[in-house]
A and B are shown apart, each in its own frame.
Chain A
Amino acid sequence: MPVSSLMTQPPASPKPQSEPPVVEMPPRKRAIIAVGATAGGSALAGGQYPVIDAIKRGETPEPRRHESVMGVPSVLDIRDFQLWYGQNKALHGINMPIAEGKITSIIGPSGCGKSTLLRSVNRLNDLVDGVRTAGTIALQGEDVYARGVDVISLRKRLGMVFQKPNPFPMSIFENVVYALRISGERRKAVLGQACEKALRQAALWDEVKDRLKGSAMGLSGGQQQRLCIARAIVCEPQVLLLDEPCSALDPIATLRIEELILEIGQRYTVLIVTHNMQQAARVSDFTAFMYLGRLVEYGRTADIFQLPRLRETEDYVTGRFG
């Protein structure tokens, strides 16, 4: 387990250090940059990362949220959100607004709670035994964890795509219109139109328009994942949640999905979890860096990659740590 291995690392510096003042740098104009992952320099000596050290001690330091993200109108507002799996606390006081109509990526080492956070938004964690939450996640001002919330209709307002493509064992057409079908839509014309629109938006229409009745299991991995995206956007969700959508795909399919995400980002709010730093840099407008269930730094993607305010973030995005 990633967490336990981090926990069992040798303790930080023997000389307790007071947190040095963090140099706040002014936000810069946005520019997309490609980040070369400089693998190599592994964990540095303790004391280099005061924030990480504090987190490892179990504290929840105030994250560095850039002013640039706090000002924008948000569709989703995560406020002091905490989550426990039984006795284990997986999320500690997460505060982050998700900008409307933008692409926000969440990065962080394995096991830091990215998927957990994503699955908290559409309450998919409800299925897990022994999950407790505190705080709020407000979707357009309404807390999704408020009492009496209709989880089914909440999930219909959110789309989700998983790490591994999960087409249902039905025809391509039935896959795409599944969300409409379960809402009771029967009209052929409506379903047909919705299917075509979603498939076009998912850049899959031309490849499958002649085999809509064919089984979805016969598509390639990349096509399957685009099908899952089409399926997720058929109801025009307010937020599209993507959990490492490319990690099971080859580089070419990954590129196509990335292009697609950029395009879909023009219409929808997208929240994407990724392990791939370059992907975060390429596709997202905002980036959140998480560590051990805490939000560490959150700002414009360009700022996070070029002018991070924390040394931890800088070293993580350049691959020197994590």
Chain B
Amino acid sequence: MTPTSAASPPAHASGWSREPTQSPRSKSEAGVIRRARIGDAVLGWACRLSAALIALMLVSLIAVLVHSAWPAMREFGVGFLISSEWRANEIERPVRDAAGQLMLRDGEAVMEILPPAFGALPVIWGTAVSSFLALVIAVPISLSAAVFLVRVAPRLRIAGAASFLIEFLAAVPSLAFGVWALFVLAPLFQKYVGPWLHRIFEPIPGLRWMFYESVTVAGRTIERPIPLTGRDLFTGSLILAIMILPIVTSVSRDVLRAVPRTQIEGTLALGATWWQSCVAMLRYGRSGLLGAIMLGLARAAGETMAVTMVIGNNNQISPSPFAPAQTMASLLANEFAEATEGLHRASLLYVALILLTMSLMFNVVARRLVVGRIASSGSH
């Protein structure tokens, strides 16, 4: 749109001119038109400015991140993404030989000094696994809730109330979720759910990795049970699932609402059961639903506060969901305030840049899927 076309909308003007002009009123009408035009112009420019400001903010956000992360990017390159070391300070440790024996010289252990090193693999792993688990938990619930809101709730006349509650859930501050998770979920897991899962799954062959970890103590590798603290990847995923429920549900609901009536009636007229017609409805909205899920994924990957409180904050890669872990966001929340040393800080910002890029990608894909679906429902 060009600025002039916004400033003087022709339809508006002709709409006025078509009115029978009465001489006593025409003067004030002209004034109204002029004022409306000025108002349109001002509003038009204000809107453009705001839009530009938002774009500028995003660009400068990326620029600042890249600039501050540059030392780490230069130091580690893309290897940062696949390295799993994370040492903020240099440490001293005894050297061991291949057999795990301490190397001694003059009766004393030989020490080596490890310089600080940074790698994002553990947090990428933690983010990926916790987001994935959150989706696995949240998506079935969200889709069922969306189907309920579209197909059942209107008949019960509770669609409005139910939708309100779900959207209200989205407005709860994440700190509140975190506190609830810390004081309710975590103890519950530690005392009841964890041991119960342990009893059920441990005897199943091939699932031992869920409950035991190998650690190297004094040169020997031993297997020991993972302590159940209730603050682990699983609890973190669960709270993430709860937090992405509202958005996935409400976007899915909008997608399903846009499914044409004739589609549902078409399946029913052919003798589909209620359940089969719901499946058809989900199939019709599948790409929009995928978008809803992607939005949920973006939110799960970026969520910070609540996850930091319950995920255990351990920068390690463990296959077990019952081991403490760390996500990109929780790493930043934990360490950023204390990161005084240059490379440490730059590495954290490198992580932030990865997180931002990922979230942007998820969001772009999701929006495309959802908007394309709702706008052109009917075409495929």
Contacts and interface: CB of A to CB of B under 8 A. Distances in A.
B156 to A, nearest CB: 10
Contacts of A127: 265, 268
B98 to A, nearest CB: 59
B154 interface: yes
Contact of A152 (B155, B266, B273, B379): B273
Interface in A223-239: 228, 231-232, 235
A162 B283 contact: no
Contact of B266 (A153, A158, A166, A217): A166
A129 interface: yes
Interface residues on B, range: 20 to 34
B155 A155 contact: no
Interface string B260-272: 1011011111111
B224 interface: no
A182 B269 CA distance: 12
A215 interface: yes
Given A164-B262, A182-B276, A169 B271 contact: no
A1 B229 CA distance: 66
Nearest to A130: B155
B32 to A, nearest CB: 35
Contacts of A152: 271-273
A217 B276 CA distance: 20
Size bracket, chain A contacts: 20 to 34
A205 to B, nearest CB: 20
B380 interface: yes
A162 B270 contact: no
A296 to B, nearest CB: 27
Contacts of A129: 154-155
B265 A155 contact: no
- Most chain B CB neighbours (cut-off 10 Å) among A127, A129, A170, A215: A127
A81 interface: no
Interface string B182-224: 0000000000000000000000000000000000000000000
A156 interface: yes
Contact of B273 (A124, A182, A228): A182
B100 to A, nearest CB: 59
Contacts of A179: 270-271
B266 A169 contact: no
B273 A217 contact: no
A85 to B, nearest CB: 15
Interface of A: 122, 124, 127, 129, 152-153, 155-156, 158-160, 162, 164, 166, 168-170, 178-179, 182-183, 215, 217, 228, 231-232, 235
17 contacts: A124-B269, A127-B268, A153-B271, A155-B268, A155-B270, A159-B269, A166-B262, A168-B267, A168-B280, A179-B270, A179-B271, A182-B271, A182-B273, A215-B380, A217-B380, A232-B269, A235-B271
